[in-house]
């Protein structure tokens, strides 16, 4: 407490003493401790996945096929069907969700402005980010799989539903950062609104938009629940993403995780390491894009 001391006439600016100081220090230590506590499981998971996965992963593991029955050891066959499936399905989902998400954000920021419809769409898209991924799987199952059967396309639909609100939110935040003077300058030159949006506003925000989209892709690539009832799980590679059952890395990890056979568990760890590497690369590229190309940042 800054008490004015009688002798010197100056306020006492020294650190508070006694119980107040102790409490302050304990609380600060607890804040640091909470960070350390969440670091422990992260470090533990990464260590285990790398330690157990690294010995399994080989060229044969990544590119061999088919995926063997669970009782066989991990050096038989390979995970190629799952690697291919993850790439196909995530890429297709990205092709659907990213353009639609960016256009949705363009509507919210450039066209909707402050009207009630834009407010409602913005609010509901935030709410949609909280819809459990398994519900997206059930939704695509009832609307698509029941009529057209299992396929990579169905899985991509489910992942796209998950990605859409994430892309809308991150793109919207980036469009909001583009200064109005840029828009006004282009209008003054006689450009139409679509032209201004496509050639001035979007290029100005593209760094942040791409980075947000990559983070959405990383999230979708690791999702299992929406794929369980939309692509099924097969053991041979299916290059045709539009028809026939498929498989993916997360589905394979899920299928192998609960098995007592060492071979199955090894395959699970190898697939987990592959998946984590894919997700981390996407995230690192996103950070790089933000740092290098984003003109406007928070």
Partner 1 sequence: MSTVTQVDPAAPAGSTHPLEQRRPLGDRVFAIVALGSGLLVLVILVLIAVTTSQQAAPWFSSEGWKIFTNNWNPAANQFGALAFIYGTAVTAIIAIVIAVPLSVGIALLLTEVVPYRWSRPIVYVVDLLAVVPSVVWGLWGILVFAPWVQHIYASIASAVTGVPVLGFFFGTPTSGASFFTAGLILAVMISPIVTSLSREVIATVPAIDKEGAYALGATRWEMITGAVWPHSQGGVVGAVLLGLGRAMGETIAAALVIGSSATITSRLFAPGYNMPAVIANQFGEASGTFRAALMGLGVLLFVFTIIINVLARGIVERNARKKRGG
Binding piece for partner 1, criterion CB under 8 A, among 56-64, 106-114, 148-156, 204-212: 106-114
From the list 4, 7, 9, 31, which residue makes contact with partner 1 (rule: CB under 8 A)? 31
CB of 184 to partner 1, least distance (A): 6
User: Which alpha helices (DSSP H) does 197-239 contain, by range?
Assistant: 202-221, 225-228
Return the number of the residue (124 or 239) whose C-beta is nearest partner 1: 124
The 8-class DSSP code of residue 4 comes to B
8 A C-beta contact, residue 49 and residue 272: yes
Residue appearing with tokens 């568990």:
265
Of 22 and 239, CB closest to partner 1: 22
Nearest distance from C-beta of residue 35 to partner 1, angstroms: 5
**With 0-12 CB in 10 A as exposed, 13-18 as middle and 19+ as buried, what is 220?**
buried
- C-beta of 62 vs 118, nearer to partner 1: 118
Give least dist CB 95 to partner 1, A.
14
Question: Between 194 and 239, whose beta carbon lies closer to partner 1?
Answer: 194
**Whether 242 contacts 89, CB under 8 Å:** no
Residue 98 in contact with partner 1, rule: CB under 8 A: no
**225 forms part of the interface with partner 1 (CB under 8 A):** yes
Counting contacts by CB under 8 A, is residue 250 touching partner 1? yes
Restricted to residues 195-224, the positions that interact with partner 1 (CB under 8 A) are 195-198, 218-219, 221-224
> In this chain, which of 61, 269, 270, 290 binds partner 1, going by CB under 8 A?
269
In the chain, the largest separation of any two C-alpha atoms, in whole Å, equals 89
- Span interacting with partner 1, options 14-22, 62-70, 73-81, 202-210, rule CB under 8 A: 14-22
Number of residues forming the site for partner 1 (CB under 8 A): 99
Under the binding rule (CB under 8 A), the answer on residue 1 touching partner 1 is: yes
Q: Applying CB under 8 A, which of residues 229, 231, 237, 270 lies at the interface with partner 1?
A: 229
Residues 115-174 that bind partner 1 (CB under 8 A): 117-118, 120-121, 123-136, 138-139, 142-143, 146, 161, 164-165, 168
Residue closer to partner 1 by CB (options 55, 192) is 192
CA distances from 243 to 153, 232, 238 (A): 7, 12, 9
- Burial bucket for residue 13 (CB in 10 Å: 0-12, 13-18, 19+): exposed
Should residue 23 be labelled a site residue for partner 1 when binding is judged by CB under 8 A?
Answer: yes
Rounded distance, CA 22 to CA 110, Å?
53
Contact between 45 and partner 1 by CB under 8 A: the answer reads: yes
Residue 279 lies near partner 1 (rule: CB under 8 A): yes
The answer to whether residues 70 and 263 touch, using CB atoms and an 8 Å cutoff, is yes
Please give the structure tokens belonging to residue 179: 């200064």
Q: Coil, strand, or helix at residue 239?
A: coil
The answer to the question of residue 70 lying near partner 1 (CB under 8 A) is no
Which of 90, 230, 265, 290 is the binder for partner 1 (CB under 8 A)?
Answer: 265
């Amino acid at each position: 407490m800054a008490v004015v001391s009688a002798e010197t006439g100056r306020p006492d600016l020294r650190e508070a003493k006694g119980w107040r100081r102790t409490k302050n220090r304990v609380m600060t230590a607890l804040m640091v401790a909470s960070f350390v506590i969440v670091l422990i499981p992260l470090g533990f998971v990464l260590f285990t996945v790398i330690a157990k996965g690294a010995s399994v992963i080989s060229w044969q593991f990544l590119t061999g096929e088919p995926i063997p029955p669970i009782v066989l050891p991990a050096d038989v066959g390979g995970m190629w069907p799952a690697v291919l499936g993850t790439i196909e399905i995530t890429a297709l989902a990205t092709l659907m969700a990213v353009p639609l998400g960016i256009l949705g954000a363009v509507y919210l920021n450039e066209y909707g402005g402050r009207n009630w419809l834009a407010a409602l769409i913005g609010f509901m898209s935030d709410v949609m980010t909280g819809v459990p991924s398994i519900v997206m799987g059930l939704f695509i199952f009832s609307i698509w799989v029941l009529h057209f059967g299992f396929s990579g396309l169905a899985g991509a639909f489910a992942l796209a539903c998950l990605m859409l609100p994430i892309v809308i939110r991150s793109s919207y935040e980036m469009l909001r950062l583009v200064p109005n003077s840029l828009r006004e300058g282009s209008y003054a030159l006689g450009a139409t609104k679509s032209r201004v949006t496509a050639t001035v506003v979007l290029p100005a925000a593209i760094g942040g938009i791409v980075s947000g989209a990559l983070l959405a892709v990383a999230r979708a690539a690791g999702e299992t629940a929406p794929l369980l009832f939309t692509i099924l799980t097969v053991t041979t590679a299916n290059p045709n993403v539009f028809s026939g059952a498929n498989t993916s890395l997360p589905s394979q990890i899920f299928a192998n995780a609960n098995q007592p056979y060492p071979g199955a568990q090894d395959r699970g760890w190898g697939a987990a390491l592959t998946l984590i590497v894919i997700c981390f690369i996407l995230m690192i590229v996103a950070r790089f894009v933000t740092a290098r190309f984003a003109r406007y940042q928070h």
